[in-house]
Amino acid sequence: MKRLYLPLILFLFLVLEGVALELLPDNLIKSDWFFVPHWVFVFLVYLAIFYERENTYHSVIYALVFGLLIDIVYTGILGIYMFSYGIAIYIIHGLRKILHGNIYVTILLGLIGIALSDISINIIFSLVGMSEILWEDYFSNRLLPTVISNLVFLLILYPIFAKRISRWGREQLAGRNTI
C-alpha cells in the first residue's frame, strides 16, 4: 500500500495543476506575468533528493511517466514535459551526490531544476512554433514569476514531506543497489 503513496500524490498534483490558475487573483492573471505551476516537478525534486539511494533512479522514471501524462492532459503535444522533466530531474539526481540533503540544498536544487525545465520547455515550444515571445521578455515575464511561485510551493511542502519521503525511501529501498 505504501508503495502507492508516491504515484497517488504525484497524480493529485497533476490534477491540481489544472485548477491552479483559478486560485490566483484575477488581476495577477491578466497582467503580463505568466505563472506556470510545476507542482509535479517540485515533488519530483523532493523524491530525487530525499527518496533515492545512491544508485536508484525511481525519480527519473516518475519524471518521464508524469511528464508524459502532463503532455497528454494539458498540452496535447507529447514529449515536451516528458523530456524537460526527465532531463532536469536526472541532472538534480546527479548534483545530489555532491551536496547533502537539507533545506538550503533543496531550495538551491529546486531553483536550478525549475529554471532548467522551464527553459527547456520554452525552447521546445519555440522550436515547434507555439511561443513567439522574445527571450528577454521570457526571462522577465515568465521565468522569474514561475520560478518564484514554484519556490514558494516548494517551501510549503518542506515541513510536510521532507522527513516522510526520506523515511519511505529507507523503508522501500533498503538493501537495493540498482533499479
Partner 1 sequence: MPFFRKKRLFLILIGFIIIVALIGFSLRDRANLTTAEQFVNDTVGWVQGVIHAPVNFVTGIFTNIDDFKDTYNENRILKEKLSQYKGLIYEVQELREENEELRNTMDAEDSIRDFDPIHATVMSRSPESWVEQVTINKGEQDGVRSNMAVITAEGMVGKIQNTSQFTSTVQLITGFDQFNRISATISREDGKDIFGMIEGFDKESDSLLFRIIEESEKDLEKGELVVSSGMGGVFPAGLMIGTVKEVIPDQYGLTRTALVEPAANMYQINNVIVVDRKLTEEKEAETENEEEDE
Among 45, 47, 80, 154, binds partner 1 (CB under 8 A): 80
Closest by CA to 154, choosing from 93, 112, 107, 95, is 107
- In this structure, what C-alpha cell is assigned to residue 90? 536526472
Among 1, 2, 76, 100, binds partner 1 (CB under 8 A): 76
Distance CA 141, CA 81 (A): 20
Q: What angle do CA 151, 46, 62 make, to 5 degrees?
A: 115
Query: Which residues ranging from 104 to 133 are in contact with partner 1 (CB under 8 A)?
Result: 121, 124-125, 128, 130-132
Distance CA 74, CA 17 (A): 9
Q: Does 172 bind partner 1 (CB under 8 A)?
A: no
Q: Does 29 bind partner 1 (CB under 8 A)?
A: yes
Footprint on this chain of partner 1 (rule: CB under 8 A): 11, 14-23, 25-26, 29-30, 34, 36-37, 55, 57, 69, 71-80, 82-83, 86-87, 121, 124-125, 128, 130-132, 142, 177-179
